[in-house]
Amino acid sequence: MPGPQADVALEMTATVKVALLIETSNAYARGLISGIVSYIREHQRWSIYLAEHRRGENVPSWLAQWKGDGVLARIENASISATLAKVRKPIVDMSSARLIPSLPWVETDDAAVARLAADHLLERGFKHFAFIGDRRYNWSRWRQQHFTRLIKEAGYDCAVYCFPAVQNRSSEELFAEIGARITRWPKPIGVMAAFDVQGQQILDACRRCSIQVPDEVAVIGVDNDELYCALSDPPLSSVILNAHRAGYEAAALLDRMIAGEKIKGEGRLFEPIGVATRQSTDVLAIKDRNLVQAIRFIRQNACSGISMKDVLRVVPQSRRVLESHFQQMIGRTPHEEIIRVRLNRVKTLLTESDLPLETIAEQAGFAHVEYLSVVFRQKIGLPPSRYRTLNRRKPIV
């Protein structure tokens, strides 16, 4: 196949040829590619053509004459859209831009992303909230809409600041604008950033303005790009997207189309896995010291098998009073909070380890694996084994 030297061909013993127009410069896109590779290993022997490609870059010149069987693409500009509109092969779009509405597409469920971020900040006791986004991207606008709606439904106001669609200002000017906005907002405040790079920028702006994180401003991003999150100061909490599953299901969808199935305009959204909590949101903006003590005790010890009796030994309150305060502040009882923390640990171990379910139950504080299975299915909607199959993040090599 003709093409530039930068293109990588993973040749396999098959006749099916699939082109990937997916950048490798960010964690989400790399997660998509890892999911595609997992599908290929489990179901198909494809020849994959992965062009060296940056986000928003023009389409590779060879694609117009390409003789392959299908395309998996992030269609994010007019150049890629115009070229792919002429390609008479099955195509699955993996972008929220929706520049070719007739194509089937897979994307992150931004309503679920916003809910995780909102719940994460609400359960820390914040009464002031803000969203900082980027008008260039649909997913940022959708996250803003859902986040502000959820905060309003919880009874609070939400400030909004978005980078302009046409960015003609320098980084220093943007930092200054973010800092000025945050300085004016009431505190303590919980802030959702549309994505991790922006979350890092918010933290930098806070540092320049001598605003304390997380005590005055708590920040949560989206993508869980571990490099950006770790390099942020302080380390950035982030919503963990399920890019691996999105990539896997996109490959499965393309496989059906290559086999002759007619699929047009069908969209599939994938919920995020959870929140990676780091120092940028490690705070409780709650004045009730007993409640703060109880919440911290539960979050630090839930996976050690504690019960409500253990919590009451730490907090000098009656069970009825403590449960009432819990319900008022974070919308759950202490027992429900214990189960929530344990299930989050279970989900992490299911997606990131090979541990058997019996060991996972033990490490998450469940006395019996049977009880874990019942609670997991009840709360998550799937048995643990199925959840692991759908969401497992496997290394590419």
At 70-97, the pLDDT tens digits run 999 999 888 888 888 888 899 999 998 8
Radius of gyration of the chain, Cα coordinates, nearest whole angstrom: 23
Residue 41 lies in a domain: yes
Question: Which carries the bigger pLDDT value, residue 166 or residue 222?
Answer: 222
At 281-317, the pLDDT tens digits run 998 888 888 898 999 899 999 999 999 999 999 998 8
Percentage above 90 pLDDT, the chain: 62
Same domain for 235 and 252, yes or no, is: no
Same domain for 62 and 116, yes or no, is: no
Residue 336 lies in a domain: yes
Same domain for 16 and 41, yes or no, is: yes
Residue 3 lies in a domain: no
Residue 375 has pLDDT above 70, yes or no: yes
Domain assignment of residue 386, given as a range: 289-391
Same domain for 147 and 254, yes or no, is: no
Same domain for 117 and 236, yes or no, is: yes
Residue 337 lies in a domain: yes
Same domain for 114 and 234, yes or no, is: yes
Residue 46 lies in a domain: yes
What does the CA dihedral 117, 122, 123, 125 come to, rounded to 10 degrees? 140
Residue 178 lies in a domain: yes
Residue with structure tokens 């319900």? 327
Q: Are 268 and 105 in contact (CB under 8 A)?
A: yes
At 19-74, the pLDDT tens digits run 999 988 888 999 999 999 989 888 877 888 886 666 666 677 777 777 889 999 99
Residue 10 has pLDDT above 60, yes or no: no
Mean predicted lDDT score pLDDT of the chain: 88
Question: Which carries the bigger pLDDT value, residue 5 or residue 179?
Answer: 179
Same domain for 118 and 178, yes or no, is: yes
Q: Is 247 helix (H, G, I), strand (E, B) or coil?
A: helix
Same domain for 62 and 102, yes or no, is: yes
Percentage above 70 pLDDT, the chain: 92
Instruction: Say which DSSP state 60 is in.
Output: P
CB atoms within 10 A of CB 111: 16
Q: What is the CATH number of the domain that holds 16?
A: 3.40.50.2300
Q: Would you state the pLDDT for residue 88? A: 86
Same domain for 249 and 327, yes or no, is: no
Residue with structure tokens 């799937």? 382
Q: Would you state the pLDDT for residue 310? A: 94
CB atoms within 10 A of CB 125: 19
Residue 1 lies in a domain: no
Same domain for 347 and 257, yes or no, is: no
Distance CA 106, CA 373 (A): 29
pLDDT level of residue 6 (50, 70, 90 thresholds): very low
User: What DSSP string describes 321-360?
Assistant: HHHHHHHHHHSS-HHHHHHHHHHHHHHHHHHH----HHHH
Segment 224-237 mean pLDDT: 92
Q: How many domains does the chain have?
A: 3
Q: What is the CATH number of the domain that holds 347?
A: 1.10.10.60
Q: Are 50 and 83 in contact (CB under 8 A)?
A: no
Question: Which carries the bigger pLDDT value, residue 331 or residue 192?
Answer: 192
Same domain for 128 and 60, yes or no, is: no
**Among 32-41, 122-131, 363-372, which is the least confidently predicted range?**
32-41
Same domain for 137 and 209, yes or no, is: yes
Segment 145-162 mean pLDDT: 96
Q: Would you state the pLDDT for residue 288? A: 87
At 95-119, the pLDDT tens digits run 988 899 999 999 999 999 999 999 9
Residue 171 lies in a domain: yes
Q: Which of 37, 35, 26, 96 is nearest to 242 (CA)?
A: 35
Residue 351 has pLDDT above 90, yes or no: no
